[in-house]
Structure 1
Amino acid sequence: MSYKVLVLDPISEDGIKELLNHPNYDVDINTGLNDSEILEIVHEYHALIVRSQTTITEEIIRHARQLRVIARAGVGVDNIDINAATKYGVIVVNAPEGNTISATEHTLAMMLSLTRNIPRAHKELSDGTWNRGAHKGIEMYGKTLGIIGVGKIGFGVARRAKSFGMKIVAFDPYLSDEKANEADIEKLEVEEIAEVADFITVHTPLTPQTRGIVGTSFFEKAKPGVQLINVARGGIIDEEALLTALDNGTAGGAALDVFTEEPPTNTALLSHPKVVVTPHLGASTVEAQEKVAVSVSREIIDILENNTIRHAVNAPKISESVNKELKPYLNIASHMGAVGIQMLNRPPSEIKVKYHGDIALDDTSILSRSFVASLLRPHFGESVNIINAMYYLQEQDVTYKVHKGGKAHGYNNYLEVELTNSEESLTLGASVLDGYGERIVKINDYQVDIKPSEHILIINHIDRPGIIGDLGYTLGKNDVNIASMQLGRSTEGGEALLSLSLDSSVSDETMEELKTIKGFNLLRQVDLSTT
């Protein structure tokens, strides 16, 4: 079969030579088209390749009747209507690994520019002013570099910074002790990094957990004169908090390649004398552009000819062909992932998934993927889905095992997960009960009956008289209504597990107040509103 590919933005032709030279592909390079011009021709094509210039709207996707793949030759996909692509069954792929070296090197370039005042000195001298005494720099040698987010780019920065004689401290929820020791990296919490680091660079996705992770409270703990670098995503460093820190001297400088709004409009930050800025150039090298072009070219071929998908950023709708026995378990598998990651202090280094009953006879991979995607999403954002979940898991060196067995006592079908890290372990069991729907039926050694809802409070406590009254009073006076409550205990007067479904979330202040109740050993708020 012959496939037609339309390249809508300038891209490395060396990078797409596999497509250009492939006998089954007819490639048209037609850049600079407006929406109406694209609409006239897009119905002919099976795949589109874009960078950041062209926006792929729902109208374009709807008119592209043969379209199966939209490939973004880069990482960000803000210019593609992901929901519309999913709605019409079009796979959206990107090239998340192609810019690793470029982003790593740009981070070091920004650090060097910042420490030696290179941009400002260059401008003054090129304007005819010799002002050598005004640009005394600082050395990186012997300083401490804090890295928030230690994926491939973060590790690349760490290795290169060590060659400058820097000490490396880092935070990443998936950074294992073994990997940290091998790389001579000291693992710290974010607030600990603030206290000891002379330089801080961020390399995480932008998620609700990482948005503003370097913000006002961070700067309150920060070492005076700390230098900040962001070549990852705008919003990880709170721009207003950074501006305040620069003005009051808490921060000694900042080098920014990305911004909360792009093009940026925060002129006070852009023109600040302590700030070095570049217009999102982290991936802008000849080599990176060739790598991303090669990556998406190969992915298009794999999808169209082999139905193999690696870097999808959207998940197709669940097909009607999915076994009817499995469909009711998709939601509970997803909810178990969300519950599990919110109950642990740290992400798991080992995962065991067990299937029992009739579902164990089926291909349960889609359930496993649904569970893993939900587990990873708080740390990696909405780009994680059932297609690429196992790839993300493998990238984090998490051990993963699946076991299938006969029927579990009391359940026709039963799903259990064991999550383990170096400090803790958690077991969750679930089933779908006829007439009652999905239920979490086990938490560690406790038999429970929890119907997943948006807001859940889970408490491990000593079974003493009055403890539930203290809980109800505290929630009530803070306007938190209990929808349902379920108690499981081991022995009278021993430990018990209490689960509550609530009508609203519990504020941080109320959570701190709850922690003062005598006998509470563990207190976890679980939010399932986005699963």
Structure 2
Amino acid sequence: MSTNSLNVALAMPASTARTVFPPTSLDPLERSLNLLSHDPIEDFHSPEGRAVLVEADVLITGWGCPMIDDAVLDAAPRLRYVLHAAGTVKHHIGDACWERGIQISSAADANAIPVAEYTVAMIVLANKKVLQIAQALHSTRTAVPAEQLFPDMGNYRKRVGIIGASKIGRHVIRLLAGYELEVVVADPYLSASEASALGVGLLSLDELVASSDVVSLHAPSLPSTKNLIDAGLIERMRPGATFINTSRGELVDQEALLARVEKGDLYAILDVTTPWVLPAESRFYSHPNVLLTPHVAGSLGTELERMAASAVQEALRLSRGVPLAYQLKAEDLAITA
């Protein structure tokens, strides 16, 4: 089969397609491949879905794509590639895809960029004590003696601890390279030589939380990482430190975190919690040491176009006979989100 004859189809809810793919974003596909339809497959088992699926060599998937299992693959005899225009593929790539040798790609690298940008912004603000000083200014409406309140404020030579040298964690490290900060990492899969190449120190998790001015969590959500940040680690965090979570709420013992925050000597910046929306009575909302944001670190608004472009570029590589840039392997799923 010639690569320039590849048939491409979208598979996701129509609302996702409208949100992620701007009107002209699919134009490059139509110039280099055969886009079967601008309307995405929403149901693989509908007559309309089956009619497109039987012709598809490539599926570009998005949030809400139905599970691709044996039954779907039986109805898609030509399918060879699934390109996901978002992060994790665990919700729609069934075991059958890996068993049948379907090549899988995702836009996780593209989605890592805004999460890392958010994280770096929060690290800088946390060390500068901007959020606490702003609260004091709003509440007193008078001059705030910032240095008297926070004599150690500032980013110069502060230690930032990164938990997890994931795609996001590594991008945070790259962005922090321009700051005069000491960056350390805890990750059981990171070797000393890899840490050296990244320009970071490699510490145990205990050492990292006990010595860092900011602790930022970037580990994947896996059965083995549930409550990774437990009560013991939370208690060992330095007085005055800031804990940032842009990963998943279930990695943290939230009750222990709240108890430590309420002691008054720990700050928390949480973009994710368990549940996604905390109950209205949660004390996280009202505590002055806590900044909550509603899962906005990842790709939103114009940033969605980056993920769409990533998937389109993967398809264009196939049209040129070039290997996928962001191909996933089945074994990757054991240690990634």
AA matched with 1:259: T
Q: How far 1:208 sits from its partner (Å)?
A: 3.7
- Count matched residues: 314
Contact 1:231 1:282 in 2 (8 A): yes
* Alignment match, 1:76: 88
CA distance in 2, matches of 1:118, 1:247: 15
Residue 41 of structure 1 is aligned with which of 23, 48, 56? 48
Q: How far 1:190 sits from its partner (Å)?
A: 0.7
Alpha-carbon RMSD across the aligned residues, in angstroms, is 4.1
Contact 1:102 1:288 in 2 (8 A): yes
* Alignment match, 1:165: 180
CA distance in 2, matches of 1:259, 1:104: 18
* Alignment match, 1:223: 238
Q: Does structure 1 residue 56 correspond to structure 2 residue 66? A: yes
- Going from structure 1 to structure 2, the CA distance change for 1:313 and 1:59 (only over 3 Å counts) comes to same
Contact 1:92 1:312 in 2 (8 A): yes
Q: How far 1:90 sits from its partner (Å)?
A: 5.7
AA matched with 1:244: A
- Going from structure 1 to structure 2, the CA distance change for 1:241 and 1:194 (only over 3 Å counts) comes to same
Q: Structure 1 residues 7-16 or 102-111, which shifts more?
A: 7-16
- Going from structure 1 to structure 2, the CA distance change for 1:117 and 1:81 (only over 3 Å counts) comes to same
Normalising by structure 1, report the TM-score: 0.49
AA matched with 1:149: G
Q: Deviations over 1:111-137 (max 9, x none)?
A: 345531189759969xxx946649967
Higher relative contact order (CA closer than 8 Å, sequence separation 6+): 2
- Aligned pairs for 1:357-436 (under 5 A) are 373=331, 380-381=335-336
Point out the structure with max Rg over C-alpha: 1
* Alignment match, 2:28: 18
AA matched with 1:148: I
CA distance in 2, matches of 1:234, 1:295: 27
Residue 144 of structure 1 is aligned with which of 154, 159, 162? 159
Residue 275 of structure 1 is aligned with which of 290, 303, 310? 290
* Alignment match, 1:402: none
**SS of residue paired to 1:269:** coil
CA distance in 1, matches of 2:181, 2:220: 25
CA distance in 2, matches of 1:81, 1:159: 30
- Going from structure 1 to structure 2, the CA distance change for 1:63 and 1:254 (only over 3 Å counts) comes to same
CA distance in 1, matches of 2:134, 2:91: 34
- Going from structure 1 to structure 2, the CA distance change for 1:178 and 1:277 (only over 3 Å counts) comes to same
Q: Which consecutive residues of structure 2, in runs of 5 or more, have no partner in the other structure? A: none
- Going from structure 1 to structure 2, the CA distance change for 1:82 and 1:278 (only over 3 Å counts) comes to farther
- Going from structure 1 to structure 2, the CA distance change for 1:218 and 1:84 (only over 3 Å counts) comes to same
- Going from structure 1 to structure 2, the CA distance change for 1:61 and 1:29 (only over 3 Å counts) comes to farther
Contact 2:10 2:59 in 1 (8 A): yes
Q: How far 1:288 sits from its partner (Å)?
A: 4.4
Q: Deviations over 1:142-196 (max 9, x none)?
A: 3221111234533442344454432222222344444544555222111011221
- Going from structure 1 to structure 2, the CA distance change for 1:91 and 1:155 (only over 3 Å counts) comes to closer
* Alignment match, 1:299: 314
**SS of residue paired to 1:117:** helix
- Going from structure 1 to structure 2, the CA distance change for 1:59 and 1:179 (only over 3 Å counts) comes to closer
Q: Does structure 1 residue 3 correspond to structure 2 residue 7? A: yes
Q: Does structure 1 residue 28 correspond to structure 2 residue 37? A: yes
**SS of residue paired to 2:185:** strand
Residue 106 of structure 1 is aligned with which of 107, 118, 131? 118
Contact 1:74 1:99 in 2 (8 A): yes
CA distance in 2, matches of 1:182, 1:65: 46
**SS of residue paired to 1:223:** coil
* Alignment match, 1:398: none
Contact 1:227 1:254 in 2 (8 A): yes
- Going from structure 1 to structure 2, the CA distance change for 1:152 and 1:62 (only over 3 Å counts) comes to closer
CA distance in 2, matches of 1:63, 1:188: 45
Q: Does structure 1 residue 116 correspond to structure 2 residue 130? A: yes
CA distance in 1, matches of 2:133, 2:91: 31
Contact 2:114 2:299 in 1 (8 A): yes
Q: Deviations over 1:245-286 (max 9, x none)?
A: 212335x21112233443555844355432222233333256
- Going from structure 1 to structure 2, the CA distance change for 1:28 and 1:253 (only over 3 Å counts) comes to farther
CA distance in 2, matches of 1:213, 1:312: 28
Q: How far 1:293 sits from its partner (Å)?
A: 2.0
* Alignment match, 2:228: 213
Normalising by structure 2, report the TM-score: 0.73
- Going from structure 1 to structure 2, the CA distance change for 1:235 and 1:39 (only over 3 Å counts) comes to same
**SS of residue paired to 2:161:** strand
Contact 2:137 2:144 in 1 (8 A): no
Q: Which consecutive residues of structure 1, in runs of 5 or more, have no partner in the other structure? A: 316-372, 384-531
* Alignment match, 1:503: none
Contact 2:226 2:251 in 1 (8 A): yes
- Aligned pairs for 1:196-275 (under 5 A) are 196-249=211-264, 252-263=266-277, 265=279, 267-275=282-290
- Aligned pairs for 1:321-332 (under 5 A) are none
CA distance in 2, matches of 1:143, 1:184: 15
**SS of residue paired to 1:283:** coil
